[in-house]
Chains A and B, each alone.
Chain A
Amino acid sequence: MRVVEILADKDSRYKIGRQVSPTLTFKAGEEVQFRITAKKAKTFNRNGSIHGFALIRKKDGAKIPNWDLELKPGYQEFVLRVPSEPGEYQIVCTVICSEGHEDMNMKVIVIA
């Protein structure tokens, strides 16, 4: 299983290594383990979530089922299945974390 380590950072950016807002490429239908470390930005949800991690289809904004996670401070792991439909997707933050919240996203390419 492929493993992806992500930092959901306090500056409202997803980071992988030194890349800020990187692009991820997955095979359709593959399982991926995400190891995410979340750091608090300015605001958060009442339930303590500090960032979100949701996958939406780029062409119509449709949310992909089971890809709607809320991140708590610190380290967490999730195993998710990549959509079976190839195309362009986007991981977005669903928690209003700062003024830069709307720019907290990552491009995801799903290939056949």
Chain B
Amino acid sequence: MKRSIVRNWLVRNWNLKSWTVFNVLTLTVFASGLSHAATFRGEIGDSSCALNVHSLSRSHQEMLKAKNFGSTSADCARHCVAHQGSSFVLVVKEKVYRLDNQQAAERWAGQIVIVTGELNEKKDTITVGNIQSLK
């Protein structure tokens, strides 16, 4: 009895608008599972050095020793981004996160910072809300 009442109500009221609302709600729930707000503490580096097998120990050092484009991690990161097709990334221990806002990251190259934003776990990408100094 109750089932037929629900069915009748659905038949009468379930139109295109209902489908749209239902789909939007489903997508919202699905999308919220993929990305969420988070805060990270790490160094702004470049993707080439950060992703390399030697990145956990000595990538910047090796690059700086071998080339003539500066003496700091910031110099190395800026050089790799400007001339070698790299991107600014956030390095948190062994994890490397890509950053959607490259202009904001450039200012903090080579520095330890706090980044707040939305993390897309599937793509390891942060939609940057704010970057601030650790101090």
- Same complex for A and B? Answer yes
Please count the residue pairs between chain A and chain B whose beta carbons lie under 8 angstroms apart in the complex: 50
- Determine whether B73 belongs to the interface, using a CB cutoff of 8 Å to chain A: no
- Determine whether A46 belongs to the interface, using a CB cutoff of 8 Å to chain B: yes
Chain-B contact segment, one of A17-25, A30-38, A95-103: A95-103
Using an 8 Å CB-CB cutoff, how does the interface string of A73-102 with B read, 1 for contact, 0 for none?
Answer: 000000000000000000011111001011
Q: List 17 A-B contacts (CB under 8 A).
A: A43-B52, A44-B52, A44-B53, A46-B52, A47-B51, A49-B51, A52-B48, A52-B85, A61-B83, A63-B85, A68-B85, A92-B83, A94-B85, A94-B86, A96-B48, A96-B54, A102-B83
Interface residues of A (CB under 8 A from B): 43-47, 49, 52, 54-56, 61, 63, 68, 92-96, 99, 101-102
Interface residues of B (CB under 8 A from A): 47-49, 51-55, 59, 63, 66-67, 81-87
